[in-house]
A and B are shown apart, each in its own frame.
Chain A
Amino acid sequence: MEHMDTKWLEQQIREWESRGWVSREGAVQIRHILETKTAGIPLPLLIVVTALGLTIAGMALIWGLSGFWYQTSFAVRIGLAAGLLLFSQIAVGAGMLRSRQGTWGGEVIAVTHVLILGVSLAIALQTYYVGWDTPSYLAGWVLLSLPGIYLLRSAGAVILYALGVLLWAASGGPVNAPGGAAFMWILLVLLVPFYGLLQRHNDEIRLSVYSWTLTITVFAAFGLAALDSEYIPFLLLATLAAAIMLAGYSIDIRKAWGVPFRWFGRCAAAGSLLISSLPSSWYGIARIQGFHWTTITVTVILFLSILALLLKGVKKRFWGPVLYAGIPVIIAAETMLVRSGLYSSVPLIVSSIYLILIGFYEMVQGIQSGHTKHTKFGICALLCLVAAFFWSGSVSPLVPVVAIIILALVLIQIRRTSDSRRDAAERARHRTDLRHNVTTVRANRKARSRRKKQPASIRKAGSPDVPAGQPAETDDMADVAEEMPEWMKSIHMPELKEEPEPPVPPAQTVTPREPELSRFTPPVFHNPDDIPLPPSVPAKEKAQAPAARPAQHHGSPWGSAAPKPEREKHFTHSPWSSEGGDRK
Chain B
Amino acid sequence: MKLPDMTLPSDSRIKWFVLIVVSIVQLAALGYIGWRWHNITVDGIPYQWQCVPRLEVSSFGTDYIRVVFPEDTAPWMDVTEPEEHQTIYVHIARDDKGMMEIKGASASKPLIGGDYMEAKVVSYHDGNVQFQVGFNRYRIAPDKADGIYDIASGDSVIASIRMKKGLGVIEGIYVNGIPLEASSNGAAMEAARSERQGDGETRSSGRSRIVESGMVPPKEE
- Interface pair A89/B23, CB less than 8 Å apart: yes
- The segment from A128-136, A215-223, A336-344 that touches chain B is A128-136
- Interface pair B29/A140, CB less than 8 Å apart: yes
- Chain A stretch 105-158: residues in CB contact (< 8 A) with chain B: 117, 120-121, 124-125, 127-133, 140, 144, 147-148, 150-151
- Interface pair B5/A200, CB less than 8 Å apart: yes
Complex formed: what's the CA distance from A133 to B120 in Å? 10
Complex formed: what's the CA distance from A500 to B8 in Å? 58
B54 within 8 A of A: no
- Shortest distance in angstroms between B123's beta carbon and chain A's nearest beta carbon? 14
Complex formed: what's the CA distance from A36 to B10 in Å? 41
Complex formed: what's the CA distance from A93 to B23 in Å? 10
A453 within 8 A of B: no
Central interface residue in B60, B137, B139, by most chain A CB within 10 Å: B60
Q: Which residues of A contact B10 (CB under 8 A)?
A: 99
Complex formed: what's the CA distance from A194 to B6 in Å? 7
Given A70-B63, A78-B30, A131-B136: A150 and B6 interface contact (C-beta under 8 Å): yes
A92 within 8 A of B: yes
Contact size class for A? Answer: 35 or more
B1 within 8 A of A: yes
- Interface pair A199/B3, CB less than 8 Å apart: yes
- Interface pair B86/A144, CB less than 8 Å apart: no
- Interface pair B3/A66, CB less than 8 Å apart: no
Complex formed: what's the CA distance from A128 to B2 in Å? 45
Return the chain A residue nearest B136 by Cβ.
A131
Q: Which residues of A contact B208 (CB under 8 A)?
A: none
Complex formed: what's the CA distance from A131 to B63 in Å? 15
Q: Which residues of B contact A78 (CB under 8 A)?
A: 30, 34
A409 within 8 A of B: no
Q: Which residues of A contact B33 (CB under 8 A)?
A: 121, 124-125, 128
What 0/1 pattern do residues 137 to 149 of B give for CB contact below 8 A with A?
1010110000000
A81 within 8 A of B: yes
What 0/1 pattern do residues 1 to 28 of B give for CB contact below 8 A with A?
1111111101000011011001101110
A441 within 8 A of B: no
- Shortest distance in angstroms between B85's beta carbon and chain A's nearest beta carbon? 4
A304 within 8 A of B: no
Central interface residue in B22, B136, B139, B141, by most chain A CB within 10 Å: B22
Complex formed: what's the CA distance from A99 to B11 in Å? 10
B51 within 8 A of A: no
- Shortest distance in angstroms between B196's beta carbon and chain A's nearest beta carbon? 23
Q: Which residues of B contact A133 (CB under 8 A)?
A: 134
- Chain A stretch 149-171: residues in CB contact (< 8 A) with chain B: 150-151
- Chain B stretch 158-208: residues in CB contact (< 8 A) with chain A: 167-169
- Shortest distance in angstroms between A148's beta carbon and chain B's nearest beta carbon? 8
- Interface pair A201/B85, CB less than 8 Å apart: no
Q: Which residues of B contact A247 (CB under 8 A)?
A: 1
Given A128-B36, A131-B167, A175-B85: A192 and B3 interface contact (C-beta under 8 Å): yes
A196 within 8 A of B: yes
- Interface pair B26/A85, CB less than 8 Å apart: yes
- Shortest distance in angstroms between A215's beta carbon and chain B's nearest beta carbon? 14
A63 within 8 A of B: yes
- Interface pair B4/A196, CB less than 8 Å apart: yes
A388 within 8 A of B: no
- Shortest distance in angstroms between A288's beta carbon and chain B's nearest beta carbon? 13
- Interface pair B37/A128, CB less than 8 Å apart: yes
A250 within 8 A of B: yes
- Interface pair B19/A129, CB less than 8 Å apart: no
B124 within 8 A of A: no
- Interface pair A86/B86, CB less than 8 Å apart: no
Contact pick for A172, options B8, B85, B134, B139, CB 8 Å: B85
Given A66-B60, A89-B23, A197-B7: A130 and B18 interface contact (C-beta under 8 Å): no
- Chain B stretch 62-87: residues in CB contact (< 8 A) with chain A: 62-64, 83-87
A228 within 8 A of B: yes
- Chain A stretch 296-320: residues in CB contact (< 8 A) with chain B: 313
Given A129-B37, A176-B85: A251 and B5 interface contact (C-beta under 8 Å): no
A34 within 8 A of B: no
- Interface pair A96/B136, CB less than 8 Å apart: no
Central interface residue in A63, A78, A131, A195, by most chain B CB within 10 Å: A131
- Interface pair A175/B86, CB less than 8 Å apart: yes
Contact pick for A89, options B4, B26, B37, B83, CB 8 Å: B26
Q: Which residues of B contact A200 (CB under 8 A)?
A: 5, 7
Given A199-B3, A250-B1, A251-B1: A130 and B19 interface contact (C-beta under 8 Å): no
Complex formed: what's the CA distance from A228 to B121 in Å? 14
What 0/1 pattern do residues 181 to 204 of A give for CB contact below 8 A with B?
000000000001111110111000
Q: Which residues of B contact A333 (CB under 8 A)?
A: none
- Interface pair A144/B135, CB less than 8 Å apart: no
Complex formed: what's the CA distance from A121 to B118 in Å? 21
B133 within 8 A of A: yes
Given A89-B23, A151-B15: A196 and B6 interface contact (C-beta under 8 Å): yes
Return the chain A residue nearest B88 by Cβ.
A176
- Interface pair A195/B19, CB less than 8 Å apart: no
- Interface pair A121/B30, CB less than 8 Å apart: yes
Return the chain B residue nearest A201 by Cβ.
B7
Contact pick for B40, options A130, A150, A172, A176, CB 8 Å: A130
B61 within 8 A of A: yes
Q: Which residues of A contact B19 (CB under 8 A)?
A: 89, 92-93, 96, 147, 151
- Interface pair A82/B27, CB less than 8 Å apart: yes
- Chain B stretch 94-145: residues in CB contact (< 8 A) with chain A: 118, 133-137, 139, 141-142
Q: Which residues of A contact B64 (CB under 8 A)?
A: 129
Q: Which residues of A contact B87 (CB under 8 A)?
A: 175-176
Complex formed: what's the CA distance from A69 to B22 in Å? 29
- Shortest distance in angstroms between A485's beta carbon and chain B's nearest beta carbon? 59
Central interface residue in A70, A81, A99, A247, by most chain B CB within 10 Å: A70
A67 within 8 A of B: yes
- Shortest distance in angstroms between A139's beta carbon and chain B's nearest beta carbon? 12
- Shortest distance in angstroms between B124's beta carbon and chain A's nearest beta carbon? 14
Given A92-B19, A93-B19, A175-B86: A131 and B30 interface contact (C-beta under 8 Å): no
A62 within 8 A of B: yes
- Interface pair A144/B26, CB less than 8 Å apart: yes
- Shortest distance in angstroms between A424's beta carbon and chain B's nearest beta carbon? 45
6 A-B residue pairs with Cβ-Cβ distance under 8 Å, sorted by A, are A89-B22, A92-B19, A132-B134, A147-B18, A247-B1, A313-B1
Mark A residues whose CB is within 8 Å of B: 62-63, 66-67, 69-70, 74, 78, 81-82, 85-86, 89, 92-93, 96, 99, 117, 120-121, 124-125, 127-133, 140, 144, 147-148, 150-151, 172, 175-176, 192-197, 199-201, 228, 247, 250-251, 313
Q: Which 8 A-B pairs have the closest CB atoms?
A: A131-B134, A196-B3, A128-B37, A70-B63, A66-B60, A124-B33, A147-B22, A172-B85
Given contact pairs A89-B23, A132-B134, A140-B29, enumerate 17 new A-B contacts (beta carbons under 8 Å): A70-B62, A70-B63, A82-B30, A89-B26, A99-B10, A127-B34, A128-B38, A130-B168, A130-B169, A131-B133, A133-B134, A144-B22, A150-B6, A172-B85, A176-B87, A195-B3, A201-B7
